[in-house]
Amino acid sequence: MGSLEAAVLKVLWSCDDALKPGEVLARLDLEPAITYSTVVTILRRLWKKDLVTRKKHGRAFHYRPSQSREEQVAETMIEAFSAATDPLAAVGHFVEQLSVEQASAFQRVLRRRR
């Protein structure tokens, strides 16, 4: 995912309601600023990647994320671990990078899974 796509998703995740492209543009804090048509293009790409859903209201589409930020992060992690030649080693390296608090949370989740 590119940085513009990530910025647009961040805006969508921060809102409870679906947003029109103009509303997304108004909430984006990018330098240099981007145009309305660029936001529409990014939203269309995200929709084609199934990262957002859209519903037509009048003449405009309203967009919302298809997953929560946490679900998206988890999916990205699974894809990354699956891409490794040695997924177990990749998980090990990941766990070594966790803070003490993150490692404790990770252990709690694994205990619940058993």
- Check which CATH number belongs to the domain holding 41 and give it: 1.10.10.10
Instruction: Say yes or no: 14 and 55 in one domain.
Output: yes
Last residue in a domain, options 65, 81, 96? 65
CB of 24 within 8 A of CB of 2?
no
Instruction: Say yes or no: 86 and 40 in one domain.
Output: no
pLDDT score of 105: 92
How far apart, in whole angstroms, are the C-alpha atoms of residue 114 and residue 109?
9
Residue 31 has pLDDT above 90, yes or no: no
Q: Which phi and psi (to 5°) does residue 83 adopt?
A: -80, -15
pLDDT digits (tens, 9 = 90+) for 7-18: 999 999 999 999
Start-to-end Cα distance in the chain: 33
Instruction: Say yes or no: 14 and 53 in one domain.
Output: yes
Q: Where are the beta strands (DSSP E) in the chain?
A: 52-57, 60-65
Global pTM reads: 0.78
Section 55-71 average pLDDT: 95
Residue 24 has pLDDT above 90, yes or no: yes
100 Cα distance to chain centroid: 25
Instruction: Say yes or no: 58 and 7 in one domain.
Output: yes
Using alpha carbons, select from 16, 64, 1, 7 the residue that is nearest to residue 39: 7
Section 47-58 average pLDDT: 95
Section 97-108 average pLDDT: 92
Section 29-37 average pLDDT: 91
pLDDT score of 1: 66
Section 41-69 average pLDDT: 95
Section 39-68 average pLDDT: 96
